Amino acid sequence: MLWKPGGVSDDVEDRRDEAGGAPGPGRGIRVGLGGGLVLLVLSLVFKTDLFALLGAEAGPAQTGQVASSRAPPRAAPPPAAEDERVQFVSFVLDDLQSTWARQFAASGKEYPHAKLVLFRDETRSACGGAEAATGPFYCPVDRKVYVDLGFYDELRDRFGAPGQFAQAYVIAHEIGHHVQNLLGVEEEVRRLEDRDPSRRNALSVKLELQADCLAGVWAHSTEQRQLLEKGDVESGIGAAAAVGDDRLQRLARGRVNPETFTHGSSAERVAWFKRGLASGAVSSCDTFGSR
């Protein structure tokens, strides 16, 4: 991806030199993009249900009790080697938010920026505790995306999704959840889940696939502005495929149970990302109206 280092975004909240921030009480958080991938593999290795231990649910971040405001102990300062990655994340975040601000303005709406929290190992969020094992996620309560940069190493080394645009896709997906929150989609899904809990997984899949499509809408914009290089689209598609429920379940359990999907299969995630990429239109992302 063509980009220029430009420092750290004003919308980035860097907590990498902090430690602590245990999960608070309540309904817990839902596992964000790729978090299920990490938890499933670790559960298999240690023969322990880490989902239960963390109080996590598969899906986007969920409202929970605000974690303790007690200042966490200080940890080692962030390594200088991460500086370029932080600047890349900043570039992508700013570009995403500028793109969505234009989209909203065209419809006569305001786009309040999301914040992106960088942390190491664990931190606190308005949706409960954030841990590296849960993967990147968006909390609709505080309108923040939470990312432990170590997740990108897992995505590249263990799950075969290398490349900067794979990293960009992760952020674009989470900002897609922010767009859903602003448009009222998140609130409507929560209402439908409360009305009929048996639809929880199916609704979660539709929510996640729509976020994939919205990531594709942004990717379309970068393509139109000639920011993409050879292999970038394939890198984004590879990331979407890497975190499909069927692939994660097969890796962790050796079998696939579609009834337990919460994010969609690899094929579905790729298809909806490509739909947004091809159209560049939010109207093409109606996963709730699809079969």
- What DSSP string describes 268-279? HHHHHHHHHHHH
Q: Is residue 5 part of a domain?
A: no
Determine the pLDDT at residue 42: 45
Q: Is residue 57 part of a domain?
A: yes
Encode the chain (291 residues) as per-residue pLDDT tens digits. 999 888 899 999 999 988 654 443 334 445 565 555 544 544 444 444 444 444 444 443 432 222 233 334 445 556 766 889 999 999 999 999 999 999 999 999 999 999 999 999 999 999 998 888 888 999 999 999 999 999 988 888 888 888 899 999 999 999 999 999 999 999 999 999 999 999 999 999 999 999 999 999 999 999 999 999 999 999 999 999 999 999 989 988 899 999 999 999 999 999 999 999 999 999 999 999 976
How crowded is residue 155: how many other Cβ atoms within 10 Å of its Cβ? 27
Q: Is residue 255 part of a domain?
A: yes
The tokens describing 177, both together, are 């959840």
State the alpha helices, DSSP H only, in 79-199.
Answer: 83-106, 150-157, 164-183, 185-195
Q: Is residue 7 part of a domain?
A: no
Q: Is residue 61 part of a domain?
A: yes
Q: Does residue 169 contact residue 151 with C-beta atoms inside 8 Å? A: no
The helix (run of H) or strand (run of E) holding residue 119 is: strand 115-119
Q: Is residue 1 part of a domain?
A: no
The helix (run of H) or strand (run of E) holding residue 129 is: strand 128-131
**What torsion, rounded to 10 degrees, do the Cα atoms 9, 12, 18, 20 define?**
-170
The tokens describing 124, both together, are 């606190």
Determine the pLDDT at residue 162: 85
DSSP assignment of 144-169: EEEEETHHHHHHHHTT---SHHHHHH
Q: Is residue 4 part of a domain?
A: no
Number of domains in the chain: 1
pTM given for the model: 0.82
pLDDT by residue (tens digit) across 231-279?
A: 999 999 999 999 999 998 998 889 999 999 999 999 999 999 999 999 9
Best CA proximity match to 6, nearest among 80, 72, 86: 86
Domain membership of residue 285 as a residue range: 12-289
Determine the pLDDT at residue 44: 44
Residue that the structure tokens 């601000």 belong to: 101
Q: Is residue 28 part of a domain?
A: yes
Dihedral sign (CA 155, 161, 163, 166): negative
